[in-house]
């Protein structure tokens, strides 16, 4: 904790800050400059809010110098984490493609899509069974029956399964059918859910909230890691900005930023990141070019009649085309698809 005092701060004000730092367990180092006195507090970890000091009299500003996350930081595991599930490695040399429909709709649908994306080189099938929808009047998913269909289609086609867990009560059923449990953007700070997922023995795919900073994403990962589950995959899927020509603004730069700050693998979801099918290919290519460890892409055999998110789902032949482009791009960053 670095506390910078205002010019002309009184000695009694400085002393109060020192006393408070000491009371919190910090060892304080005082440094007096020409204009400002700076107090450096070295000490207890944890989440001391800098605003606690900024509202004290005579204080100009306060900075936290220890990252609020530890287990998620790059320095904890400089070589990087590879999440290995059977023969699939996320965070390794190969860019891992996860593809499938927004919602599982029927046995036929999911089988058709699974076969197609497996043939093109995807390693994981995605599909929602419990759908969080912003309107109470929309399709809410097939539930466990949908998960069963998803699992069977995956097994027939040699794929892994990723599917979303909406709250902690759903963990058991998801853990039964899925290989990777996805936490949606709206749940990124559902701390009760995160805490429970720390106890689970399955990898977690944690999506960035639309208004979450990268630091907050890593702090949410820390919740899971601190519970003992070290297999966390991060996912960039667009943030909310003033620009409205796309549904969200995909923050491609978050990919290299995460790579510097953390050892965890990061994938990108260009479908939610753009909301429109015609923007998915360019953004998928951009994510891989920027260093993403994988992609999560919505694909549907008949998007015009999809029960949810049809507008952002690729047609099957668009996915084929995407894979061809990615095979070239991956080489530029020393990888394969």
285 in contact with its own copies (CB under 8 A): yes
282 in contact with its own copies (CB under 8 A): yes
d(CA 123, CA 143): 23
113 in contact with its own copies (CB under 8 A): no
d(CA 229, CA 329): 33
Closer to its own copies by Cβ: residue 68 or 92: 68
215 in contact with its own copies (CB under 8 A): yes
In the list 21, 174, 219, 266, the residue contacting its own copies (rule: CB under 8 A) is 219
Question: Which tokens go with 196?
Answer: 């429970």
46 in contact with its own copies (CB under 8 A): yes
Closer to its own copies by Cβ: residue 106 or 169: 169
d(CA 106, CA 148): 11
In the list 82, 311, 318, 335, the residue contacting its own copies (rule: CB under 8 A) is 311
Closer to its own copies by Cβ: residue 126 or 208: 208
> By rule CB under 8 A, what count of residues binds its own copies?
112
Closer to its own copies by Cβ: residue 11 or 243: 243
Residue 265 exposure: Cα atoms within 13 Å on the Cβ side: 24
In Å, what is the CA distance from 225 to each residue of 26, 35, 57, 212, 232? Answer: 26, 43, 38, 19, 8
Stretch that binds its own copies, among 95-103, 112-120, 126-134, 146-154 (CB under 8 A): 126-134
317 in contact with its own copies (CB under 8 A): no
d(CA 175, CA 161): 10
112 in contact with its own copies (CB under 8 A): no
Closer to its own copies by Cβ: residue 103 or 187: 187
Q: Are the C-beta atoms of residues 163 and 182 closer than 8 Å to each other?
A: yes
In Å, what is the CA distance from 112 to each residue of 157, 237, 308? Answer: 10, 26, 17
| Nearest distance, CB of residue 90 and its own copies, angstroms | 19
DSSP string across 82-137: -EEETTEEETSSBPEEEEE-SB---HHHHHHHHHHHHHHT--EEE-BSS---SSTT
Stretch that binds its own copies, among 94-102, 107-115, 152-160, 274-282 (CB under 8 A): 274-282
- Residue numbers 80-99 binding its own copies by CB under 8 A: none
| Nearest distance, CB of residue 124 and its own copies, angstroms | 22
Q: Which candidate, 230, 272, 221, places its Cα nearest to that of 251? A: 272
In the list 156, 240, 317, 336, the residue contacting its own copies (rule: CB under 8 A) is 240
> Within 10 A of 6 (CB to CB), how many other CB atoms are there?
15
328 in contact with its own copies (CB under 8 A): yes
Stretch that binds its own copies, among 121-129, 156-164, 173-181, 240-248 (CB under 8 A): 240-248
- Residue numbers 286-305 binding its own copies by CB under 8 A: 286-291, 304
- Residue numbers 164-203 binding its own copies by CB under 8 A: 166-169, 186-187, 189-195
The three-class DSSP label of residue 153 is helix
> Within 10 A of 297 (CB to CB), how many other CB atoms are there?
28
| Nearest distance, CB of residue 284 and its own copies, angstroms | 9
d(CA 22, CA 38): 15
Beta bridge partners of 204: 181, 232
In the list 120, 164, 222, 293, the residue contacting its own copies (rule: CB under 8 A) is 222
12 in contact with its own copies (CB under 8 A): no
Stretch that binds its own copies, among 90-98, 100-108, 121-129, 327-335 (CB under 8 A): 327-335
Torsion angle of C-alpha atoms 183, 185, 190, 195, degrees rounded to 10: 30
163 in contact with its own copies (CB under 8 A): no
């Amino acid at each position: 904790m670095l506390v910078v005092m205002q010019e002309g701060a009184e000695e009694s004000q400085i002393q109060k800050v020192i006393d408070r730092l000491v009371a919190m367990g910090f060892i304080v180092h005082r440094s007096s400059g020409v204009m400002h006195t700076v107090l450096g507090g070295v000490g207890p970890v944890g989440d001391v809010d800098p605003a606690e000091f900024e509202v004290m009299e005579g204080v100009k500003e306060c900075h936290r110098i220890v990252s609020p996350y530890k287990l998620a930081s790059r320095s904890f595991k400089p070589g990087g984490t590879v999440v290995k599930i059977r023969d699939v490695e996320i965070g390794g040399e190969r860019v891992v493609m996860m593809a499938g429909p927004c919602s599982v709709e029927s046995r036929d649908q999911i089988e058709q899509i699974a076969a197609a994306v497996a043939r093109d080189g995807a390693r994981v099938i995605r599909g929602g069974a419990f759908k969080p929808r912003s309107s109470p009047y929309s399709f809410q998913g097939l539930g466990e029956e949908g998960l069963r269909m998803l699992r069977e289609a995956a097994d027939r086609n040699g794929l892994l399964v990723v599917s979303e867990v909406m709250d902690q009560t759903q963990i058991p059923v998801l853990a039964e059918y899925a290989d990777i449990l996805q936490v949606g953007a709206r749940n990124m700070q559902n701390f009760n859910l995160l805490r429970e997922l720390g106890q689970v023995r399955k990898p977690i795919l944690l999506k960035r909230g639309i208004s979450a900073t990268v630091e907050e994403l890593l702090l949410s990962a820390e919740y899971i890691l601190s519970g003992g589950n070290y297999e966390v995959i991060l996912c960039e899927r667009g943030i909310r900005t003033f620009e409205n020509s796309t549904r969200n603004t995909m923050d491609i730069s978050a990919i290299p930023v995460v790579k510097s700050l953390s050892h965890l693998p990061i994938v990108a979801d260009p479908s939610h990141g753009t909301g429109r099918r015609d923007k998915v290919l360019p953004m998928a290519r951009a994510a891989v070019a920027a260093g993403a460890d994988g992609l999560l892409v919505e694909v549907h055999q008949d998007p015009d009649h999809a029960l949810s998110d049809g507008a952002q789902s690729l047609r099957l032949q668009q996915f084929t085309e995407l894979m061809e482009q990615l095979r070239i791009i991956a080489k530029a960053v020393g990888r394969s698809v």
